[in-house]
């Protein structure tokens, strides 16, 4: 590894252990973490990209007001009300960070695929994927926590709340764009089950491919969300976690723990199975290109 600053974006899908991965990377020396910058713009603010049906829009607006009322001392981020894609690209992603050796960004691929001209300069690119069966079960559970403040009865349909191609299609679209345009000729792809089964091997390979000096400090971290105070994030992301425990399990973690068994599809809701069927072809293509562990833990 050279002494040159390394910048890398880990493009994820929600519920892929990406926040635990980010906590791991926080243990590096002289690192700046940037947490879901494009995602915050995709969902909120003047450049908002996703548009819900009327009822979901009302629910979302109501929750935003609830989040805005949360009082907390957080100084490292930016206000979602005025943040645009241009602001994120130029003032957050391409800022100098002269005292840092590593700039690590965790974000969601679906937040950039409609704005590919806003990809920042000077970054390496990697992907984190997960079995869609596990992903969408966890995603729906997270959305249920997000919606628990509602004062009306409803039957949650996850397809009304997530991107058009359910996150997996957008990840594959971004992967193809990076390769075809020689932005990243061979992006690193990590499957979360491989990461959880063999964290040391997976993290060592990731660091080697990206050009980061590996340390065993990446395998353990302190539980709690205190580390996130140093991350650069949208205020709505930080407040949303405080209000709805969006990253509850990740912040409670202290290492990469064993993956849960795959749920039985026959017991899953129809909306989850719809998501799985659409996502599987994209997942399988990326899974075939993933890093493969070279050792056991």
Domain membership flag for residue 279? yes
Confirm whether 74 is domain-assigned: yes
Helix/strand number for the chain, H first, E second = 11, 6
Instruction: Classify residue 294: in a domain, yes or no.
Output: no
3-state SS string over 206-273? HHHHHCCCCCHHHHECCCCCHHHHHCEEEHHHHHHHHHHCCCHHHHHCCECCCCCCCCCHHHCCHHHH
- pLDDT of the residue at 183: 97
297 is a domain residue: no
Give residue 177's domain range: 6-287
Per-residue pLDDT of the chain (297 residues; tens, 9 = 90+): 446 899 999 999 988 999 999 999 999 999 999 999 999 999 988 999 988 888 778 877 877 787 777 777 777 788 888 999 999 999 999 999 999 999 999 999 999 999 999 999 999 999 999 999 999 998 898 888 767 654 445 578 888 888 999 999 999 999 999 999 999 999 999 999 999 999 999 999 999 999 999 999 999 998 888 888 889 999 888 776 666 666 667 678 889 988 788 889 999 999 999 999 999 999 999 999 999 877 644
Q: Is residue 83 assigned to a domain?
A: yes
Dist. CA 141–CA 133, nearest whole Å: 13
Lookup: tokens for 293: 């562990």
- 172: domain CATH number? 3.40.50
What local confidence, expressed as pLDDT, does residue 271 receive?
94
pLDDT at 248: 67
Whether 296 maps to a domain, the answer reads no
The total number of structural domains in the chain stands at 1
Residue-level pLDDT at 134: 94
Which pLDDT value is given to residue 49? Answer: 93
pLDDT of amino acid 74: 75
Q: Could you give the CA distance from residue 280 to residue 157 in angstroms, rounded to a whole number?
A: 19
- Among residues 125, 41, 43, the alpha carbon closest in space to that of 90 is found at 41
Instruction: Give a yes or no: residue 179 inside a domain.
Output: yes
**Do the domain assignments include residue 218?**
yes
């Amino acid at each position: 590894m050279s002494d040159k600053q390394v910048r890398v974006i880990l493009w994820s899908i929600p519920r892929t252990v990406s926040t635990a991965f980010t906590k791991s990377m926080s243990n590096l020396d002289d690192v700046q973490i940037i947490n879901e910058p494009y995602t915050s713009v995709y969902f909120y603010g003047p450049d908002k990209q996703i548009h819900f049906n009327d009822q979901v829009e009302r629910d979302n607006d109501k929750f935003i007001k609830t989040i805005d009322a949360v009082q907390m001392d957080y100084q490292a981020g930016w206000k979602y009300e005025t943040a645009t894609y241009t602001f994120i690209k130029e003032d957050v992603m391409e800022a100098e960070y002269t005292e840092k050796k590593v700039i690590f960004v965790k974000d969601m691929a679906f937040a950039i695929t409609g704005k590919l001209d806003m990809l920042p300069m000077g970054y390496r690119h990697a992907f984190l994927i997960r079995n869609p069966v596990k992903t969408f079960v966890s995603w729906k559970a997270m959305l249920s926590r997000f919606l628990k403040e509602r004062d009306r009865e409803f039957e949650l349909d996850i397809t009304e709340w997530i991107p058009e191609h359910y996150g997996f299609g957008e990840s594959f679209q971004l992967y193809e764009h990076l390769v075809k345009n020689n932005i990243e000729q061979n992006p690193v792809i990590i499957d979360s089950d491989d990461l959880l089964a063999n964290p040391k091997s997976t993290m060592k390979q990731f660091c080697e491919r990206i050009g980061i000096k590996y340390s065993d400090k990446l395998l353990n971290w302190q539980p709690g969300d205190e580390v996130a105070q140093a991350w650069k994030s949208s205020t709505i992301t930080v407040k949303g976690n405080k209000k709805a425990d969006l990253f509850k399990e990740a912040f409670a973690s202290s290492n990469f723990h064993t993956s849960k068994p795959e749920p039985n599809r026959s017991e899953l809701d129809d909306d989850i199975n719809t998501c799985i069927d659409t996502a599987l072809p994209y997942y399988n293509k990326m899974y075939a290109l993933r890093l493969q562990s070279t050792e056991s833990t």
